[in-house]
Amino acid sequence: MLAALKKIFAKSESTETEYTEEFLDFSDVMVDMHSHVLPGLDDGSDSLEYSLGMVEEYIRFGYKKLIMTPHIMGDFYKNTPTGIRQKLKELQNAVKAKGWDIELNCAAEYYLDEWFLKKLEDSEELLTFGDNYLLFETSFLNEPFNFKEAVFALRSNGYKPVLAHPERYTYLYGRFDDLLRMRDTGVLFQININSLIGYYSEGAKRVAEKLVDQKLVEFIGTDAHHNKHMDALVKTANTPYFKKVLDLPLRNKELL
Ligand SMILES: [Fe+2]
CA of 3 to the centre of ligand 1 (A): 30
Check: CB of residue 237 under 8 Å from CB of residue 26: yes
CA of 17 to the centre of ligand 1 (A): 27
CA of 140 to the centre of ligand 1 (A): 12
How does DSSP classify residue 77?
B
CA of 34 to the centre of ligand 1 (A): 6
CA of 138 to the centre of ligand 1 (A): 11
pLDDT at 29: 81
CA of 165 to the centre of ligand 1 (A): 8
pTM of the model: 0.90
pLDDT band at 67, cuts 50/70/90? very high
CA of 209 to the centre of ligand 1 (A): 19
pLDDT band at 237, cuts 50/70/90? confident
Among 2.60.40.1120, 3.30.2130.10, 3.30.70.3270, 3.20.20.140, what is the CATH number of 26-255? 3.20.20.140
Over the stretch 181-207, which tens digit does the pLDDT of each residue have?
999 999 999 999 999 999 999 999 999
CA of 21 to the centre of ligand 1 (A): 32
The string of DSSP letters for 105-165 reads EE--EEE-SHHHHHHHHTT-----BTTTEEEEE--SSS--TTHHHHHHHHHHTT-EEEEE-
As a whole number, mean pLDDT of residues 72-82 equals 95
pLDDT at 1: 35
Would you list the domain boundaries of the chain?
A: 26-255
